[in-house]
């Protein structure tokens, strides 16, 4: 049973970080089946960390999948010789019931990443590009450039929300507008009231993609899912993933929600037999185990909030977070900090040029976050 991080727990976490700051590089606190989880490298990403490094760089769930999902994978492995059609149909039906939608509103993908690519393929072209926040998740921009579509980057507001009025102006000539909410890398929320007004005003021939990969972690900041708006907005696509709170980043399963006509447009660009059988089976079991979702949410919030308080106590400003990661302004260029942290056995997020002094950190276990605090305090003894 994991402990609740009370004020005393916060003091313990902070104290551990201070005490360990002068210690040698921490030993590995994370090992998954004896190997390091792999993530597709972004163009600006640092090299993959060595086995044994504490991984706080990819917004993964350190507690892993539901025990029910693990059991389902074991049972399904002998069936890996079969194509995934039956498992896909089953999961689609379960998701439809979960969201109280008709199954025609759903499209499965290899993680939500595949749905982002499909949206670009369906809507972006050289004469009608994409509009994105800056900084935000880079996949949509990269896919757009691959097809020769221009990318318009709109800086976030001073409080790290998407600047929807400016994005709306740019949407007039765009094929696709991308809003990640909560946003990656800032972990910040664009309030639901603003999103509703924005969606009502966007041209109907412009696809709006709302990426809700971190939906399950958001409990404040005016956040609401926009899934209920799909029924009245034919140009709205909402994406979700089993990679984050469900702890299945390595199994690659996600889905999109939209009106059937838009789903058909996306499906025309989709790879056959995606997602894979094992990911589908695990996702079905994980979806049924909402108790594990709540446990992961609670654990993340307790450790995250305690770590953010520890950072604030040392003089660093943390962007208010509604996700399983946070951004902290170190007041100094983060590239050398990232390298120095890696040397001490802790991998943290890559640099984001729009916020050159901000460090993105995934929330790990309590033990991992103690090691993170120790390494950071060794590299930067006090706030700049």
Rounded Cα distance between 175 and 167, Å, is 12
- Please state the separation of Cα 124 from the chain's center in Å: 23
For CATH 3.90.1150.10, list the domain ranges present in the chain: 7-65+290-379
Which phi-psi region, left, alpha or beta, contains residue 77 (left: φ > 0; alpha: ψ -120 to 50)? alpha
* Contact by Cβ (8 Å): 264, 270: no
Of the candidates 282, 314, 294, the residue with the CA atom closest to the CA atom of residue 379: 314
pLDDT tens-digit profile of 194-228? Answer: 999 999 999 999 999 999 999 999 999 999 999 99
pLDDT score recorded for residue 308: 98
The CATH number, out of the four listed (3.50.50.60, 3.30.70.20, 3.40.640.10, 3.40.50.720), of the domain defined by the range 67-288? 3.40.640.10
Query: Which CATH fold topology does 7-65+290-379 show?
Result: 3.90.1150
Rounded Cα distance between 316 and 334, Å, is 13
Average pLDDT, the chain: 89
pLDDT score recorded for residue 52: 80
For CATH 3.40.640.10, list the domain ranges present in the chain: 67-288
Ramachandran angles phi, psi of 193, nearest 5°: -60, -40
What's the pTM?
A: 0.88
Total Cβ atoms within 10 A of residue 100? 8
CA distances from 146 to 150, 348, 351 (A): 10, 28, 22
Rounded Cα distance between 280 and 90, Å, is 9
Higher-scoring residue by pLDDT: 20, 196: 196
pLDDT tens-digit profile of 124-177? Answer: 999 999 999 999 999 999 999 999 999 999 999 999 999 999 999 999 999 999
DSSP notation for 146-175: HTT--EEEEE--TTS---HHHHHHHHTT-S
pLDDT tens-digit profile of 63-86? Answer: 999 999 999 999 999 999 999 999
For the chain, what's the residue count? Answer: 384
Share of the chain above pLDDT 90, in %: 85
Residue 8 has pLDDT above 70, yes or no: no
Rounded Cα distance between 140 and 239, Å, is 13
Tokens 């104290």 found at? 15
Q: Which residues contact 254 (CB under 8 A, 6 or more apart)?
A: 108, 109, 110, 111, 112, 113, 114, 115, 239, 240, 241, 242, 243, 275
């Amino acid at each position: 049973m994991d402990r609740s991080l009370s004020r005393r727990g916060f003091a313990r976490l902070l104290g551990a970080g201070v005490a360990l700051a002068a210690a040698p590089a921490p030993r590995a606190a994370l090992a998954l089946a004896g190997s390091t989880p792999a993530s597709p490298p972004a163009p600006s990403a640092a090299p993959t960390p060595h086995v044994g490094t504490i991984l706080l760089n990819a917004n993964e769930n350190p507690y892993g999948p539901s025990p029910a999902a693990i059991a389902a994978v074991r049972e399904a492995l002998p069936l890996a010789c079969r194509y995934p059609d039956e498992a896909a149909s089953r999961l689609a039906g379960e998701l439809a019931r979960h969201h109280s939608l008709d199954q025609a509103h759903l499209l499965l993908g290899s993680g939500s990443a595949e749905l982002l690519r499909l949206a670009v393929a369906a809507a972006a072209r050289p004469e009608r590009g994409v509009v994105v926040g800056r900084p935000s998740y880079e996949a949509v921009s990269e896919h757009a450039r691959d097809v020769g579509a221009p990318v318009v980057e709109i800086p976030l507001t001073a409080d790290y929300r998407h600047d929807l009025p400016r994005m709306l102006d740019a949407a007039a000539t765009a094929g696709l507008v991308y809003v990640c909410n909560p946003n990656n890398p800032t972990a910040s929320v664009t309030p639901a009231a603003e999103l509703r007004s924005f969606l009502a005003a966007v041209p109907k021939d412009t696809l709006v993609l709302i990426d809700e990969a971190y939906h399950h972690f958001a409990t404040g900041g005016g956040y609401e899912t926009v899934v209920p708006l799909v029924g009245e907005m034919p140009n709205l696509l909402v994406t979700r993933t089993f990679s984050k709170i469900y702890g299945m980043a390595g199994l690659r399963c996600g889905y999109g929600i939209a009106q059937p006509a838009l789903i058909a447009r996306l499906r025309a660009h989709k790879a056959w037999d995606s997602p894979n059988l094992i990911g589908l089976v695990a996702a079905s079991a994980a979806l049924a185990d909402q108790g594990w979702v709540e446990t992961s949410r609670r654990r993340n919030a307790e450790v995250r909030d305690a770590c953010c308080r520890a950072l604030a106590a040392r003089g660093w400003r943390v962007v208010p977070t509604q996700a399983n990661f946070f951004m902290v302004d170190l007041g100094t260029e983060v590239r050398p900090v990232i390298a120095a942290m890696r040397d001490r056995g802790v991998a943290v997020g890559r640099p984001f040029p729009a916020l050159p002094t901000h460090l993105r950190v995934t929330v790990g276990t309590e033990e991992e976050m103690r090691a993170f605090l120790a390494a950071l305090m060794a590299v930067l003894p006090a706030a700049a």
